[in-house]
């Protein structure tokens, strides 16, 4: 394994590191839940990689994500908007409108025909519209987060969740459960509520097809289905949806090295 450049994405829930070869292909990656002591965690990532490849000399690292400024081992930091666009474009070979739903924010990025960011919108002020909305609700209903999507899709009906605020949605859920409403329709309603907020962001920048999806929540099958229903567009996924920010950062590191 020959690593030419590294990228790290310090998100609000997970840290992802990607190593790429000189051709820009992902040859190594590692993902862990985020530790508040970011610098120490990055050291442990780098040590782990060092054990596998012996030396990290002359391998540039670029950091992205919410905690990018805390990665002092990086030669540069670039925002997650630019890195996600770069990673997704490189992996899929075309632009479009990318939805990335993260733990603490969600973003919509219009990627141009040359991979450049044309426009973007971010929801970073409120947990509604982010992965945290589902996490909180899953915890309330005692459904494991990884099963949430499947349980939601097994619903034969759906209830509307009127609260767009995570805290109020929780009270609404409790009240519904108290009134005997089943878990499955509530879960489906929660997915719809989250996605409608995200789709509003898509509309604010203007949907340029195809619709692309990245981020940890893509493992949830209900998310993809509801996005397709709400936008009437087919959704395309890159091969490593959770790694796109780190991958983009690594591609920038490779470019930096070449220059």
We find the least distance from the C-beta atom of residue 94 to other proteins, in angstroms, to be: 17
Using the minimum distance from each CB to other proteins, give the nearer residue, 80 or 184.
Answer: 80
The binder of other proteins chosen from 36, 54, 57, 125 (CB under 8 A): 125
Site map for other proteins, 56-75, x if CB under 8 A?
Answer: ----------x---------
| SS3 labels along the chain | CCCCEEEEEECCCEEEEEEECCCCCEEEEEEEECCCCHHHHHHHHHHHHHHHHCCCCCCCEEEECCCHHHCCCCCEECCHHHHHHHHHHHHHCCCEEEEEECCCCEEEEEECCCCCEEEEEEECCCCCCCHHHHHHHHHHHCCCHHHHHHHHHCCCCCCCCCCCCHHHHHHHHHHHHHCCCCHHHHHHHHHHHHHHHHHHHHHHHCCCCCEEEECHHHHCHHHHHHHHHHHCCCEECCCCHHHHHHHHHHHHHHHHHHC
By CB under 8 A, residue 172 contacts other proteins? no
The binder of other proteins chosen from 80, 100, 172, 184 (CB under 8 A): 80
By CB under 8 A, residue 184 contacts other proteins? no
We find the least distance from the C-beta atom of residue 41 to other proteins, in angstroms, to be: 19
By CB under 8 A, residue 247 contacts other proteins? no
The binder of other proteins chosen from 79, 130, 137, 242 (CB under 8 A): 79
By CB under 8 A, residue 119 contacts other proteins? yes
Using the minimum distance from each CB to other proteins, give the nearer residue, 81 or 195.
Answer: 81
Site map for other proteins, 190-229, x if CB under 8 A?
Answer: --------------x-------------------------
We find the least distance from the C-beta atom of residue 126 to other proteins, in angstroms, to be: 11
Q: Which residues bind other proteins (CB under 8 A)?
A: 66, 78-82, 105, 116-120, 122, 124-125, 204
């Amino acid at each position: 394994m020959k690593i030419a450049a590294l990228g790290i994405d310090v998100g609000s829930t997970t840290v992802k590191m990607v190593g790429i070869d000189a051709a820009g292909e992902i040859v190594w990656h590692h993902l862990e839940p985020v530790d508040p002591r970011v610098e120490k965690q990055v050291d442990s990532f780098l040590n782990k990689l060092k054990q596998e490849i012996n030396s990290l000399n002359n391998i540039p690292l670029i950091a992205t994500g919410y905690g990018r400024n805390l990665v002092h081992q990086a030669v540069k930091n670039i925002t997650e908007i630019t890195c996600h666009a770069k990673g997704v474009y490189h992996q899929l070979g075309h632009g479009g409108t990318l939805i990335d739903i993260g733990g603490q924010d969600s973003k919509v990025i219009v990627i141009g025909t040359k991979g450049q960011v044309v426009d973007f919108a971010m929801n970073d002020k409120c947990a509604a519209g982010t992965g945290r909305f589902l996490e909180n609700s899953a915890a309330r209903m005692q459904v494991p987060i990884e099963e949430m999507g499947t349980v939601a899709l097994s619903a034969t009906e759906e209830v509307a969740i009127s609260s767009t605020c995570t805290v109020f949605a929780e009270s609404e859920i409790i009240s519904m459960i108290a009134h005997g409403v089943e878990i499955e329709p509530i879960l489906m309603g929660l997915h719809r509520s989250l996605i409608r907020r995200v789709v509003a962001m898509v509309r604010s920048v203007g949907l340029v097809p195809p619709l692309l999806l990245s981020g940890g929540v893509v493992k949830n099958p209900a998310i993809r289905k509801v996005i397709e229903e709400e936008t009437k567009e087919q959704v395309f996924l890159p091969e490593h949806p959770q790694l796109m920010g780190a991958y983009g950062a690594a591609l920038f590191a490779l470019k930096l090295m070449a220059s």
